[in-house]
Amino acid sequence: MKTSNFHLVTQREVPSDAEIVSHQLMLRTGMIRKLTSGIYTWTPLGLRVLRKVEQVVREEMDAAGCLEMLMPSVQPAELWQETGRWEDFGPLLLKMADRAGREFAFGPTHEEVITEFARGEVRSYKQLPICFYQIQTKFRDEIRPRFGVMRAREFLMKDGYSFHIDDDCLDRFYQVMYRTYSRIFERLELRFKAVTADSGAIGGAVSHEFHVLADSGEDQIAHVPDSGYAANVEQAEAIAQGERAEPTEALRLVDTPNARTIADLVEQFDQPIEKTVKTLVVAASDDIDADFIALLVRGDHELNAIKAEKLPQVATPLRMAGEEEIRAAIGAGPGSLGPIKLPIPCIADRQVALMSDFSAGANTDGKHYFGINWERDLALPDSADLRNVVAGDPAADGSGNLALIRGIEVGHIFQLGRKYSEAMNAVVMDENGRGIHPAMGCYGIGVSRIVAAAIEQNHDDNGIIWPEPMAPFDVVLLPLNAKKSHRVRELADRLYAELGAAGLDVLMDDRPLRPGVMFADAELIGIPHHLVIGDRGLDNGVVEYRRRGAEAREIPIDEIGAWFDRVKTKDALSR
RNA sequence: CGGGGUGUAGCGCAGCCUGGUAGCGCAACUGCUUUGGGAGCAGUAGGUCACAGGUUCGAAUCCUGUCACCCCGACCA
């Protein structure tokens, strides 16, 4: 490709509404253009990258025996009503109606469609196991789209669905997908981590997320650096540490008129934050005879909403009580709540159950109790794992202490079980001629998100540094002053033809621009290999080779042939 | 959904307070010079000032409404 025939429109200035570096660089390089909130056009430059990622994904899925197909993005409401997700998916689902008033959704995922497909097509155990996948545009009406294509409403996703005669087969195939995903991210040369993830509503189901590691990531991962343990903080189990000490302080009621938060309490009364308890009031489930339930967490800990929702006593989705609701139920405002004489049921975090001599609100405005001790001052409530883990906590598997890092979720694999095959009555005949619901797995990869995640992980002040397998071009030729220099033009043309014939994606910058502009653009768009052809080098019989992000070196012109041979095996380029 | 902010040329912004018919930098176009790290000079083109209504002799500017986009929050006791 020659620049003169391409659409290369770079910008020096950073668009004002781009917050993170990948979004800024994708706009500055011209890879994407925003059409409206959370919806982007991929330009020819951006599409080249997207296609390369797609191709790696496709090759590895095919190698694992999966079959590519393409399902409709517009899906009838009835299908979603069959599984109850027409309501459950909520406002994330983009709904629309046709001229006759029939309702449709733009697909955010395809479990319903694939199950509908399978119940018509897959009838016998002899056809199993089977895995279908597609690479397709999805739409989720996100609450707050942000960070460009990182969290867009419309995005490109690879979604795969497998069907199995039994759970053993599903589990074995799941392991194949785990390895396939690892291989995909290895091939894309991304630093990543597979973590155990929230297993959702289906008990016992297994789920892993694949995260590209980057400080700007929206997800937190808890892992033990020297062991294999890694989990999303959403689901990492918090282990209580230590034993409950004997009481040393007397219980006392203290006037705390200006202490409405834990921070106030710590500051004004010199309380160590680890000796304070937060009382969070949430809506109770129908299972218990109360409208609200209190959850106790140590002052420096955070409630984990997903863990809380799993408690049978707590309503799903989790809903925090409003101030007026709290006053009506307890008689005091938020800021003065605590476990003593609490008129509603309560559950303590495991760590809270081990505390002694702690402080908490007195359920009277402007008063707190200090020196509270379980079993002496009040009964020990039920306890559960309610909080997020923090750095230094012991890992649930006992393999060491947790460190927290940030990641961008780019893949998620899941053992669905029979949720959809049962809800939609997909049936296959087993060896005994008996109809059974097949076990299913589903496997997603955020193709467009990978592009942004790769930039987050690989850039410098000059621009993007693409991992080679997803670079829009392998090599860029930069002929300097080609307009005037016949020999520069001639060598550039020759190299362009030969590199192209060797199977490389070559970009030749044939714009009559000053060298600085050409260098800056080549670096901004992140092409891995640069060949600079100028009179100065030709006088010495050399061209200049630069690996993006590394020092330049000279290659004698008469050795370019040998250099080619190494170029042809792309791996050698990076050395 | 709640709070805040911003809409002026492709991009980044000024002008608005104090009303008088729109400007700067980058990008683009033409010509000449320049050519190994985002050139110089001269010239050109591009704007219903988000939209609607109102006030006024006169509105980018003041008032009202609408829309769009961005940020923060929706774990706070």
Whether CB of A553 is under 7 Å from strand B: the answer is no
CA of A188 to C1' of B33 (A): 47
Residue A339 preceded by cis peptide, ω within 30: no
Identify the pLDDT of residue A228: 86
CA distance linking residue A109 with residue A425, whole number of Å? 19
Those residues with Cβ within 8 angstroms of residue A154's Cβ, 6 or more apart along the chain or in another chain = A38, A39, A40, A137, A138, A139
CA of A327 to C1' of B8 (A): 50
Dihedrals phi, psi of A293, to nearest 5 degrees? -140, 145
490-549 on A, CB < 7 Å from strand B: 512-517, 519-521, 523-524, 532-537, 544, 546
* A406's tokens: 């940030």
ipTM at complex level: 0.93
Whether CB of A326 is under 7 Å from strand B: the answer is yes
Whether CB of A278 is under 7 Å from strand B: the answer is yes
DSSP string, A442-462: EEEEEHHHHHHHHHHHSEETT
CA distance linking residue A480 with residue A503, whole number of Å? 24
CA distance linking residue A160 with residue A413, whole number of Å? 9
Identify the pLDDT of residue A10: 95
CA distance linking residue A238 with residue A235, whole number of Å? 9
User: Are A358 and A275 a contacting pair, CB within 8 Å?
Assistant: yes
pTM: 0.92
* A435's tokens: 């109809």
CA of A156 to C1' of B57 (A): 58
User: Are A58 and A67 a contacting pair, CB within 8 Å?
Assistant: no
* A314's tokens: 């707590």
CA distance linking residue A297 with residue A509, whole number of Å? 61
CA of A18 to C1' of B69 (A): 12
CA distance linking residue A104 with residue A85, whole number of Å? 13
Q: What's at A211, amino acid-wise?
A: H
Residues belonging to chain A? 575
CA distance linking residue A397 with residue A14, whole number of Å? 46
Which helix (H) or strand (E) segment is A263 a member of? helix A262-269
Mean pLDDT by 10 residues, chain A (575 residues): 94 88 95 92 96 98 98 95 88 90 94 96 96 96 90 95 96 97 97 83 70 91 91 89 92 88 85 90 86 91 88 84 84 88 92 94 91 94 92 91 93 93 96 96 96 96 95 96 92 94 93 95 96 94 92 89 69 48
Identify the pLDDT of residue A568: 61
Identify the pLDDT of residue A333: 84
Which SS3 state, helix, strand or coil, does residue A556 take?
strand
For strand B, the positions having any atom within 7 A of a protein Cβ are 1, 10-13, 25-27, 34-39, 68-77
pLDDT in tens, A555-573: 999 888 777 677 666 554 4
Nucleotide nearest to A536 (CA to C1'): B36
Whether CB of A328 is under 7 Å from strand B: the answer is no
